[in-house]
A = this chain, B = another copy of it.
C-alpha cells in the first residue's frame, strides 16, 4: 500500500449566467465533457485531469478551465477534496478529486463554439453525470448560493458595466427564486458595492436604465489560506 496507488485529479465546476430564460432571464450553465471511455462512457463529466508535478492546484484548475472554455475565470476557488472509496465503479481505480469552482463572464461565455466533446448544459436541468459529479455540482451550487450575500461572486458573472436588473437576474439565477426588484435595488445601492457610471444602457427605450460597475475598493475577499486569495481576474 503505497501513496502511488491513489491518483490525484483536479476538476472544475464552471458556472456562467446566460440570458436564456423566459423574457431573457439569466440561468446558470456549466460546461461538461462527454466521457469517451469506461467507466461511465458516454456520460457527461466535469472538466479536469491529473495534477501535473510542475503546477500547483489552482493552476491546474485554471488550465482545465482554459482548455475547456478558452477563457480565464472571473472567480476561482477551491471547493472540496472528494475522496470516498466508492466514487468509481471500477474498484481498482482509486482517485481523489480536488475540485475547484469558478465563474466566467456571460459576455465571454456566449461566444463559445462547442467542441465535439464539450457542451454547455443548464445547471437546473442536468442529466445523470459520471462518477459522483452530481453530488459535486450540487455542493458547488450550495457554496455559490451561500457566498452570494457576502462576497463579490455575483459580479464575476457580469461584464465591466451592468444594470441593476442584470445584477438582480444573476442573483435570481443563482438562488433559483425571484427577488423583489424594488427591494433588491434598494439593498444593492445601500451596500456600496456598485458605483453609478453616469451612463445609461443604449437602446430605444424612453428612459434606458443606468449602468453600474463593481466597487473594487471593497474588501469582499473570501476566507482563504494566508497568501492565497481566490483567483480573480478583475
A interface vs B, CB < 8 Å? 1-9, 50-57, 78, 80-85, 94, 96, 98, 135-136, 138-139, 142-143, 146, 223, 225-227
Please give, as numbers and ranges, the residues of chain B lying within 8 Å of A227 by CB-CB distance: 135
Q: Is the CB of A56 within 8 A of B84?
A: yes
List the 7 closest pairs (A to B, CB-CB), nearest first. A57-B83, A4-B4, A3-B50, A139-B225, A3-B7, A5-B53, A81-B81
Q: Is the CB of A54 within 8 A of B226?
A: no
Minimum CB–CB distance from A109 to chain B (whole Å) comes to 26
Decide if the interface of chain A is mainly helix, strand, loop or mixed: mixed
Minimum CB–CB distance from A58 to chain B (whole Å) comes to 8
Q: With A3-B8, A96-B98, A139-B226 as known contacts, state yes or no: A81 contacts B54, CB within 8 Å.
A: no
Q: Mind listing 30 A-B residue pairs with CB under 8 Å?
A: A1-B52, A1-B53, A1-B54, A3-B8, A3-B9, A3-B50, A3-B51, A4-B4, A5-B53, A6-B8, A6-B51, A6-B53, A8-B96, A51-B83, A51-B96, A53-B94, A54-B85, A56-B85, A78-B80, A81-B81, A81-B98, A83-B98, A96-B98, A98-B98, A135-B225, A135-B226, A135-B227, A138-B225, A138-B226, A142-B223
CB closest residue in chain B, given A132: B225
Q: With A3-B7, A146-B223 as known contacts, state yes or no: A55 contacts B96, CB within 8 Å.
A: no
Complex Cα distance, B105 from A200, in Å, reads 60
Please give, as numbers and ranges, the residues of chain B lying within 8 Å of A50 by CB-CB distance: 2-3
Complex Cα distance, B139 from A223, in Å, reads 9
Minimum CB–CB distance from A142 to chain B (whole Å) comes to 6
Please give, as numbers and ranges, the residues of chain B lying within 8 Å of A54 by CB-CB distance: 1, 85
Please give, as numbers and ranges, the residues of chain B lying within 8 Å of A223 by CB-CB distance: 142-143, 146
Minimum CB–CB distance from A231 to chain B (whole Å) comes to 13
Q: Is the CB of A225 within 8 A of B1?
A: no
Q: With A8-B3, A85-B54, A96-B51 as known contacts, state yes or no: A80 contacts B135, CB within 8 Å.
A: no
